[in-house]
Structure 1
Amino acid sequence: MTAPGNQQQQPPIDLLCGWPNPALLPAPDLLRAATTVLTTPSIAQPGLLYGPDEGYEPLRAHIAQWLGSFYLPCHPISPQRICITGGASQSLACILAVFTDPVYTRTVWMVEPAYYLAGRIMDDAGFAGRVYGVPEDDEGIDLAFLESGLRAAEEKAQAEGNTEPRLKPPRPWRKIYKYIIYAVPTFANPSTKIMSLDHRERLVQLARQYDALLVTDDVYDFLQFSATREGALAAPEHACLPRLVDVDRYLNGGPVDEWGHAISNGSFSKLIGPGARTGWVEASEKLAYGLSQVGSSRSGGAPSQLSSTIIDQLLPSGFLENYIRQVLQPAYAERYHLLLAAIQEYLAPLGVTVASASDTVAGGYFIWVTLPPPLLAVDIVLRAQNEENLRLAPGTLFEVPGHLHPPSDKFAACLRLCFAWEEPRHLTEGVRRLARVVNQALV
């Protein structure tokens, strides 16, 4: 057993924090961009004033071009499909404010294990107690489970006469959806799974059938790399799969109405820095414009106006694309493979298993592992903190509250390990410490 107080003699290691490592943020390039903006009156003046509701127009145009070159959608992406946001979390709150009614919108569905901090945003929008988890299957989402839940919720709504929005009056810029379905389809947080193309297409079909809005956090898509260590320097140049918003554009001839049923939530937080507080959504032109009409933007102007002018300097030159390919992808690939190798060396012999992933492409920030029975993640997390000065995230953190069933133990043996925050040299040591805790707990 580790001697009491031993953790105080070790430097802390944090495998919980889902932030980008500060050394990977392009501060010098942002400084040059900010200097250009603030010394160029034609850019600085609009940047320091209230911007158009949809956001800084040059950035919208450049994001549209950049996304088009990466995702290769079936049709070009127009700037009118882009709305600038204050980041993915602020955007999610605004999406719920504009496109849901706390009574008419029956339920919110979240693929679980889910990004746990999104739950508070759902609660704030009036959905406490009506947020349900949809299990993952081998292809990313249990569609049979979801369809059964949607059918039951719709039958209940019809029986109660819940057929029209109750609290939100009609507005030309918004549509009230019956359901919200929230997912991270590519490199999911926390499981890192990639939803298959078949499931993406069938999910869009379900959304159309039940008039649900698919809200996807596509924030990790660019952080992809080879799943094999030997191919780590040959990162894919294009997205591994079309987003749900892309599927909605081509499936069965395209959207069933002018609004569509999918909205892609993007952010510069994992690429440039969360402090920039800048993101975007892509959706139908009608939906993108509707989001821009949220009350906070109509009152305060477009979010992130000044940051948008600075970030915009990094796109037309190709800097951002090059930075992702030459700095971020190799750096995160190195961290991922270091952590995975340490897990296989120190934890696998103790019975710890790693969630299955693609054989060709990996990405994102996390590795999802399962402890051997009878260990519980909450106990291991506590012991790791107290005995080894090691921070971890227990799987129970990612269970959706307000579940259709009583709280379960399905994630009780799981841990989410983040490789993005710590320096590479600390990742192997962190796993060694975790292995000591697991070994002691099994004795």
Structure 2
Amino acid sequence: MSLAVGRINLVRGWPAPDLLPVHHLSAAAQRVLSDPSIYEPALQYGDDLGYRPLREALSDWLSTHYNVSRDPDRICISGGASQNIACILQSFTDPAYTRAIWMVAPCYHLACTIFRDAGFEGRIRGFSEDEEGIDLVELEEGIKKVDEQQQAVTSPKLFKDAGQYHKFYRHVVYVVPTSANPSGKTMSLRRRKDLVTLARKYDALVICDDVYDFLQWPLHGSAENLERPEMRLPRLCDIDLGMGQAPEDTRGFGYAVSNGSFSKIAGPGIRTGWLEGSKAFSFGLSQTGSTMSGGSPSQFCASILAELLQTGNLQTHLSKIIRPTLQRRHRLLMEAFHERLAPLGVECRESSLPNGTSYGGYFVWLTLPKDMPSRLVAEVALHKENLIVGNGAMFEVHGNNNGKHHNFNRHIRLTFAYVSEDELVEGVQRLRNVIQRIRHKPQQYVDQKLGLPDNLLETSK
């Protein structure tokens, strides 16, 4: 099938096959499986906190990048970022005690189901994103309102016992601080500090998906390193640690955790990630029942990733292959945008921070002209141009019960990480064709009711 008629998927948030460190993974697996001192423990049940050599290697890498003290005991290995959110909710929330889940809108939409599965149906609330990442005024007003309503309610019996190693938080705030999915925005330093302060004030746990921190690059110049300060902003967990233990946090769990993952840098199929937080929180997370029974998530894959980090091969692959490739594809997308979409009135943020000099992640967030509903654009793109794009409604906070509807009916998310460079440019041209089609005969396409497939969400991570 020729490029002109072949399907182009600009919604799939996967790493392209040519970004995967296949040869490094193969070599590391061979080294692991050739040494009994490594493969015997790697193929058995592991420590609850996770494979110690990976925790050591991660601590070396992360402490150097973020300029924080090295401490492997702050790290707990997970089975990936999504599974880790579920484990956090199992151990550190109770549906009868935890009052609300707060998600920035637009959001990483597939996280909504994780929160619903944990018993928070009807208590997921969205709050707005602003130019610096999040609208803290709106968030605090929402939390105050919920707290005032709950004070008049008799507390029901808890479903769980927090026990010795856990505590339950009153609120949970979920954010992607760096190169957010879908908007590409990075939360400013002052917003990060203020969010931690707010979390301490209202007994909230901030879960930060820090999965794009190492996937940033300058708009101009080499993408091989992350030397610019705006690409090395402190994580919220480090800000929280730097503030010292809060008086009311008697057991030292803290109020912010970093949810990391190898999915975007070594492959989603690796199913391995990590949490970094306080020692008490990391150990408490390791005492989640499924982890204790399973003996460390991803034990064998963790041994391979430890090899990749210890040899420096993963770091080299990131600096030499992944970041330059993403930088080049993002640049191609933006050039095509300026040439083919901007003249039609489409807008796009070009740097992660306001007036910044860098970008990162996998996605760009387009704002369509006022007369162009994004769902209609997505429908026409699929049925008339064989192009898949993410319409804005997909990234609303599903089940939002905040009393305020965040409407993204003029927004489109495109990914530049998965498709080839030729397909990327061709995809932008097809999107241009769609906008021109609709403008020429808008009612024709509205009346057709083309529809979108029900499983579109599944490919849009």
Cα deviation 1:26-64 (Å, max 9, x = unaligned) = 111111111111111111111111011100001001101
Match for residue 35 of structure 1 among 30, 38, 45: 30
Q: Distance in 2 between matches of 1:184 and 1:433?
A: 30
Say whether residues 1:419 and 2:416 are aligned partners: yes
Structure 1 counterpart SS, 2:47: coil
> Structure 1's 407 and 149: CA in aligned 2 closer, same or farther, altered over 3 A?
closer
Q: How far 1:165 sits from its partner (Å)?
A: 6.8
Match for residue 21 of structure 1 among 16, 28, 31: 16
How do residues 20-419 of structure 1 correspond to structure 2 at under 5 angstroms?
20-73=15-68, 76-162=69-155, 166-227=158-219, 230-233=220-223, 235-237=225-227, 239-251=231-243, 253-256=244-247, 257=249, 258-355=252-349, 357=351, 358=353, 359-404=356-401, 408=405, 410-419=407-416
| Aligned pairs, number | 432
Q: What's the RMSD between the two structures over aligned residues?
A: 1.7
> Structure 1's 111 and 204: CA in aligned 2 closer, same or farther, altered over 3 A?
same
Q: Distance in 1 between matches of 2:51 and 2:94?
A: 29
Paired residues of 2:46 and 2:295 also in contact (CA < 8 A): yes
Q: How far 1:236 sits from its partner (Å)?
A: 2.0
Task: Name the counterpart of 2:447.
Answer: none
Q: How far 1:321 sits from its partner (Å)?
A: 1.4
Say whether residues 1:431 and 2:428 are aligned partners: yes
Paired residues of 1:97 and 1:294 also in contact (CA < 8 A): yes
Paired residues of 1:224 and 1:363 also in contact (CA < 8 A): yes
Paired residues of 2:100 and 2:125 also in contact (CA < 8 A): yes
Q: Distance in 2 between matches of 1:440 and 1:345?
A: 18
Cα deviation 1:100-124 (Å, max 9, x = unaligned) = 0011000000011000000000000
Paired residues of 1:232 and 1:333 also in contact (CA < 8 A): no
Q: How far 1:233 sits from its partner (Å)?
A: 3.9
Cα deviation 1:181-222 (Å, max 9, x = unaligned) = 000010000001111111111110110000000000000010
Q: How far 1:407 sits from its partner (Å)?
A: 7.6
Paired residues of 1:112 and 1:134 also in contact (CA < 8 A): yes
Q: Distance in 2 between matches of 1:175 and 1:207?
A: 15
Q: Distance in 2 between matches of 1:115 and 1:140?
A: 14
Task: Name the counterpart of 2:6.
Answer: 11
State the AA in 2 paired with 1:196: S
Identity, % of aligned positions: 46
Q: Distance in 1 between matches of 2:61 and 2:338?
A: 37
State the AA in 2 paired with 1:14: N
Structure 1 counterpart SS, 2:131: coil
Q: Give the alignment's TM-score, normalised by structure 2.
A: 0.91
Q: How far 1:335 sits from its partner (Å)?
A: 0.6
Q: Distance in 2 between matches of 1:201 and 1:233?
A: 28
Q: How far 1:404 sits from its partner (Å)?
A: 3.6
> Structure 1's 114 and 323: CA in aligned 2 closer, same or farther, altered over 3 A?
same
Cα deviation 1:242-294 (Å, max 9, x = unaligned) = 1111110113x455531100110000000000000000000000000011111
Gapped runs of 5+ residues in structure 2?
Answer: 441-461
Q: Give the alignment's TM-score, normalised by structure 1.
A: 0.94
> Structure 1's 170 and 55: CA in aligned 2 closer, same or farther, altered over 3 A?
same
Q: Distance in 1 between matches of 2:311 and 2:204?
A: 38
Q: How far 1:8 sits from its partner (Å)?
A: 9.9
Q: Distance in 1 between matches of 2:118 and 2:330?
A: 36
Structure 1 counterpart SS, 2:181: coil
